[in-house]
């Protein structure tokens, strides 16, 4: 059960690897062992705050933490704690003093939402991460995992994308404000680690999907959008399904339970520094994705490509060798993951805005 404990355990502090403080480079697979904490603060009673527990990633982290026996979890609804309000966040963390924070709260969305609500995406993400990270440090909390996104990397960087390609070129325009906010989050973690010796870690997930995804066609990412479109096309006996763009961009898709597993794996490994890509290491074209979704959903029509819609970045395949070197890799295949996501979609029957795209 989720509890809101008022008697926090004393937070144990770990010392940061001096190699990483002195060395400005992001840690590579070779240097990862030096960023592992030797102090183990984990037990079923470890007090863990999951910021963003109603979102797709936050809710997956809560499910897995509970399944693993962690019972001292703190979650707050937006009404209970406004993460954009600095004094509320500072007061909350100073009082609760969680042992570990998963910073999964964010304003997220697909290509249309990112490109349209540009001010909201940069402002809300900057203020949430700034409030939480600064308040965590002020409260003496040394363990935090910040969730970013693979769109932080330069639009045209070499593939697969290694962590050290960050800030080596211009960003994709459709999601630049969001990416800038997420890069700031990474730099906040890195800067507090360097100046104050905290142990804040950043993870960069590839495109995620699964339970609690957004199925509003103007807000969503491509995979949930295609699930909804294929499902509705099947029910309405339509002949064709509309895919935005040319269908040629390539994307990598990770089932959200695998993402939650990677986040908890990093917490349990005692990693206290760095930026880690989390993905499957495999990508598909948007056309191939649409065909797989049609297959799973059972829609037998054809595909139509609406080239008035943007393609976005041509490819963003993550190099996942840092996580592999630590001992983690994804489990769920794309076909199985889509089948699970579609089953969840059918069970929960999300209420839709009547938007046509
Ligand atoms: P991105 O990965 O940040 O570009 O975000 P999305 O997941 O929204 O889009 C990925 C790719 O899928 C882009 O090339 C979109 O044009 C394409 N796409 C195809 N059909 C759709 C759709 O119905 N919705 C969305 N969001 N993207 C679509």
**Ligand 1 site, CB within 6 A:** 110-112, 151, 175, 207, 220-222, 225, 243-245, 249, 251, 286, 309-312
Report the alpha-carbon distance of residue 34 to residue 27 in Å, rounded: 9
At 356 the pLDDT is 56
Structural domain containing residue 193 = 18-212+253-282+316-332
Report the alpha-carbon distance of residue 322 to residue 327 in Å, rounded: 9
Which residue's CA is minimally distant from atom 22 of ligand 1? 222
- Which among 56, 110, 248, 355 is the best mutation to test ligand 1's pocket, defined by most ligand atoms within 8 Å of the CB? 110
Note the residue count of the chain.
357
Mean pLDDT of 50-57: 98
- The whole-model pTM stands at 0.89
pLDDT 10s digits, 163-190:
999 999 999 999 999 999 999 999 999 9
Q: How far is the CA of 313 from the centre of ligand 1 (A)?
A: 10
| pLDDT over 70 at 5, yes or no | no
Whether residue 178 lies in the annotated active site: yes
Domain membership of residue 72 (yes or no) is yes
Domain membership of residue 275 (yes or no) is yes
Atom of ligand 1 nearest to the CA of 357: 23
Report the alpha-carbon distance of residue 266 to residue 277 in Å, rounded: 12
Domain count, the chain: 1
At 41 the pLDDT is 73
Domain membership of residue 232 (yes or no) is no
Domain membership of residue 296 (yes or no) is no
pLDDT 10s digits, 205-238:
999 999 999 999 999 999 999 999 999 999 999 9
At 9 the pLDDT is 33
Q: What percent of the chain has pLDDT over 90?
A: 85
pLDDT 10s digits, 256-314:
999 999 999 999 999 999 999 999 999 999 999 999 999 999 999 999 999 999 999 99
Which pLDDT band holds residue 353 (cuts at 50, 70, 90)? Answer: low
CATH number, position 190: 3.40.50.720
pLDDT 10s digits, 92-109:
999 999 999 999 999 999
Report the alpha-carbon distance of residue 248 to residue 172 in Å, rounded: 16
């Amino acid at each position: 059960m989720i509890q809101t404990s008022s008697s926090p355990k004393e937070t144990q502090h770990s010392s940061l690897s001096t190699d990483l403080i002195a060395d400005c480079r992001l840690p590579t697979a070779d240097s990862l062992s030096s960023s592992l904490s030797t102090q183990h603060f984990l037990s079923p009673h470890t007090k863990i705050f999951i910021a963003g527990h109603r979102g797709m990633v936050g809710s997956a982290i809560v499910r897995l933490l509970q399944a693993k026996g962690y019972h001292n979890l703190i979650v707050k609804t937006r009404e209970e704690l406004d993460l954009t309000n600095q004094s509320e966040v500072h007061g909350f963390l100073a009082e609760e003093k969680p042992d570990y924070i998963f910073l999964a709260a964010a304003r997220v969305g697909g290509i249309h939402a990112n490109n349209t609500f540009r001010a909201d995406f940069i402002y809300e993400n900057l203020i949430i991460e700034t409030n939480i990270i600064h308040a965590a440090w002020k409260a003496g909390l040394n363990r935090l995992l910040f969730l970013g996104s693979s769109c932080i990397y330069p639009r045209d960087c070499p593939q697969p994308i290694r962590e050290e390609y960050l800030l080596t070129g211009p960003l994709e325009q459709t999601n630049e404000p969001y990416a800038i906010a997420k890069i700031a989050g990474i730099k906040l973690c890195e800067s507090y680690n360097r100046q104050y010796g905290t142990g804040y870690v950043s993870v960069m997930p590839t495109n995620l999907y699964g339970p609690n995804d957004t199925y509003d066609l103007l807000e969503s990412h491509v995979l949930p959008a295609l699930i909804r479109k294929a499902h509705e096309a099947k029910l309405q006996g339509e002949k064709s399904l509309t895919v935005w763009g040319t269908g040629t961009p390539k994307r990598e898709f990770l089932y959200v339970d695998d993402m939650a597993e990677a986040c908890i794996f990093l917490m349990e490994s005692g990693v206290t520094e760095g930026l880690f890509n989390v993905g499957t290491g495999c990508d598909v074209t948007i056309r191939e994705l649409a065909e797989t979704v049609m297959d799973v959903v059972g829609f037998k029509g054809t595909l139509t490509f609406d080239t008035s819609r943007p393609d976005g970045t041509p490819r963003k395949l993550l190099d996942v060798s840092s996580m592999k070197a630590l001992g983690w890799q994804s489990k769920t295949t794309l076909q199985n993951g889509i089948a699970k996501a579609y089953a969840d979609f059918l069970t929960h029957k999300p209420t839709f805005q009547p938007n046509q795209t």
